[in-house]
Amino acid sequence: MTDSTTDGRLDAKAVSILIVLCLIWGLNAAFIKYATAGIAPIFCAGLRSLIATLCLMIWMACRRIRLFSGHLKDGIIVGVLFGAEFGLLYWAILYTTVSSAWILLYTSPFFHALGAHFLLTGDRLSVSRGAGLILSFAGIFILLSKHLGLPSVQQFAGDLLALGAAVLWALTTVVIKRRLVMAVSPYHTLFYQTLFSIPVLFLLSLLFRETPIKTLNGLIVFSVAYQGVLVAFISYLGWFFLVHTYPVSRLSSFTFLTPVFATLAGVVLLNESLTLRLIVSLTLVSIGIYVVNRK
């Protein structure tokens, strides 16, 4: 596939899809919290990949798309990176604050843009686009900085794990863009990622001696279904369609909206206050997105 715009900018279709995806991912933060109240975190991530893989297999069978389309080596690499990313992220949350982990995770667009600049053709990082990324990240940092205190040795270790997850996220996207975009369809890219991440996550859960399921209720089951069907299946399918079509660094700028939407979900669902900090954050994120995508 080629870029939908001659200068690499995102068109209205891409922007609309990205906003919806970020909203889904932002709401997912609340559902992860609900689910992990009764299911071990890493095991829950494995369940999500398992559900998404089964959904994708059924969907591909209905459309008569074969499950494997070659390039299994690259697919395994992508799946292992994806599984390791979420293993590190959920492990990080055990040692550091959720806010700190999310801030560090969403440094990933910097690694996206840096990797794309050196490894991908026609996706160079200019000064203005770099400034846009910095503005967006500043908005996220301002939004969540109130939760950060002086870290202990344990929290510092957790922060390093979250930063590692951010690097793995960026590396996964660059590998997909470099190795799979012109070779397989977005469906196969997602299938490889979810399928090969399953053993990684369940193995990590076993190594950490998690108690897989502590308790179940309707909300927990719904939360797991939300993560597996809507997030890891439907929304990721949309994301990979975009990755196969548009420049990586420009897509990455929109991921900053996800923690903003997660905070808004807290305001609506958890009766949290709408503060000046939130308004300033949203403003900086919006300006950053405009700078990255302007002509």
* pLDDT per position as a tens digit, 226-244: 999 999 999 988 887 887 7
At 47 the pLDDT is 95
At 8 the pLDDT is 59
Q: Looking at residues 97-107, what average pLDDT do you find? A: 72
| Residue 161 clears pLDDT 80, i.e. is over it | yes
State whether residue 213 is helix, strand or coil.
strand
At 46 the pLDDT is 94
Question: Which of the residue ranges 8-12, 43-47, 168-172, 242-246 would you say has the lowest mean pLDDT?
Answer: 8-12
Are 217 and 159 in contact by the 8 Å Cβ rule? The answer is no
More confident residue, 254 or 66: 66
State whether residue 71 is helix, strand or coil.
coil
Q: How many Å apart are CA 131 and CA 197, to the nearest integer?
A: 34
Question: Which of the residue ranges 24-38, 143-157, 196-210 would you say has the lowest mean pLDDT?
Answer: 143-157
Mean of per-residue pLDDT scores for the chain: 81
Burial letters 262-286, b for 16+ CB under 10 A, else e: bbbbbeeeeeeeeeebbeebbebbb
At 185 the pLDDT is 83
Sequence letter at residue 277: R
More confident residue, 55 or 32: 55
Q: Looking at residues 26-35, what average pLDDT do you find? A: 84
Joined together, the tokens standing for residue 279 give 């308004």
Q: Looking at residues 267-290, what average pLDDT do you find? A: 73
Measured from the Cβ of residue 113, the count of other Cβ atoms closer than 10 Å reads 25
Q: How many Å apart are CA 107 and CA 174, to the nearest integer?
A: 15
More confident residue, 215 or 248: 215
> Token match 């510092």: residue?
156
Overall size of the chain counted in residues: 295
Measured from the Cβ of residue 201, the count of other Cβ atoms closer than 10 Å reads 25
Q: How many Å apart are CA 256 and CA 290, to the nearest integer?
A: 13
Percent of all residues in the chain with a pLDDT value above 90, rounded to a whole number:
27
Sequence letter at residue 126: S
Q: How many Å apart are CA 38 and CA 252, to the nearest integer?
A: 32
| CA-based radius of gyration for the chain | 18
Opening angle at CA 256, ends 252 and 257, nearest 5: 115
Q: How many Å apart are CA 106 and CA 264, to the nearest integer?
A: 17
- Which residues lie below 8 Å from residue 12, measured CB to CB, with a gap of 6+? none
Are 55 and 203 in contact by the 8 Å Cβ rule? The answer is no
Half-sphere exposure of 141 (CA within 13 A, CB side): 8
* pLDDT per position as a tens digit, 183-226: 888 888 889 999 999 999 999 999 989 999 999 999 999 999 99
At 116 the pLDDT is 67
| Residue 31 clears pLDDT 50, i.e. is over it | yes
At 249 the pLDDT is 65
Measured from the Cβ of residue 65, the count of other Cβ atoms closer than 10 Å reads 15
The CA-atom distances, in angstroms, between 215 and each of 40, 51, 65, 285 are 10, 19, 38, 39
* pLDDT per position as a tens digit, 40-89: 989 999 999 999 999 999 999 999 999 888 888 999 999 999 999 988 88
Assign 1 a pLDDT band (cuts: 50, 70, 90).
very low
